[in-house]
Amino acid sequence: MRKSSTKRLVNAALMLALGMVLPFLTGQIPSVGSRLLPMHIPALLTGYISGPLYGLLVGFIMPLFRSIIFGMPPMFPTAVAMAFELATYGFVAGLLYKRLQKNTGNIYLSLVLAMIIGRFVWGIVSYMLYGLGESAFTWQIFTAGAFINALPGILIQLALLPVLVLALKKARIL
């Protein structure tokens, strides 16, 4: 039990580190770098690799740490809303992966549900946070932020994450 717990913790720390560094790499791609959603992948992977609790913790901490250490994303409202979104991604992906049969269809199902639920959580939190400020969070801002501008990242997540999860499963890391 202790070895398994230590392994999950180390893997979660590795995903947190990846989430801190990956935005530097994607940021080098002009006009599309942030739309690739580089912190989403490690948050989701943490849920699959280390379980829902670690997925929740890493997802929540990652954008806040990046904001504090590097100033990006801006803390309010972006990093705070992202913290809830990524925490939801990690938790839901990890929980569904743990509960469902470990086949390709269920990996996609857990990924898509985590992405949808996480985006709605982001929208709800953003609506509340924008309400504290001077600007309004509109339906247009929600659809642009959650789906239209995020489309490159969504496509990458749908293409890459199931392949990574299956490879990790084959390598007996999962």
Q: What is the pLDDT at residue 1?
A: 54
- Residue 67 carries which side chain, given as an amino acid letter? S
CA dist 94 and 100 (Å) reads 10
Per-residue pLDDT of the chain (174 residues; tens, 9 = 90+): 566 899 999 999 999 999 999 999 988 887 776 789 999 999 999 999 999 999 999 999 999 999 999 999 999 999 999 999 999 999 999 999 999 998 999 999 999 999 999 999 999 999 999 888 777 888 898 998 889 899 999 999 999 999 999 999 999 887
Output the six-digit token pair for 124: 């709800």
Q: In 86-120, which positions are buried (b, 16+ CB within 10 angstroms) versus exposed (e)?
A: bbbbbbbbbbbbeeeeeeeeebeebbeebbebbbe
- The maximal CA–CA distance of the chain, rounded, in angstroms, is 50
Please state, in angstroms and as integers, the Cα–Cα distance from residue 71 to each residue in 41, 42, 63, 122, following that order. Answer: 20, 19, 10, 20
Given a contact cutoff of 8 angstroms between Cβ atoms, the answer to whether 95 and 124 are in contact is: no
Q: Where are the domains of the chain?
A: 2-21+38-170
Output the six-digit token pair for 119: 């985006």
Tell me, what DSSP letter sits at residue 38? T
Q: What is the pLDDT at residue 141?
A: 87
Q: What is the pLDDT at residue 80?
A: 97
CATH class belonging to 2-21+38-170: mainly alpha
**Who contacts 97 (Cβ-Cβ below 8 Å, separation ≥6)?**
47, 48, 106, 107, 110, 165
pTM: 0.93
Output the six-digit token pair for 91: 């938790």
- Number of separate helices (H) and strands (E) present in the chain: 7, 0
CA dist 151 and 81 (Å) reads 19
φ/ψ (deg, to 5) at 90: -60, -45
- Residue 169 carries which side chain, given as an amino acid letter? K
Q: What is the pLDDT at residue 166?
A: 95
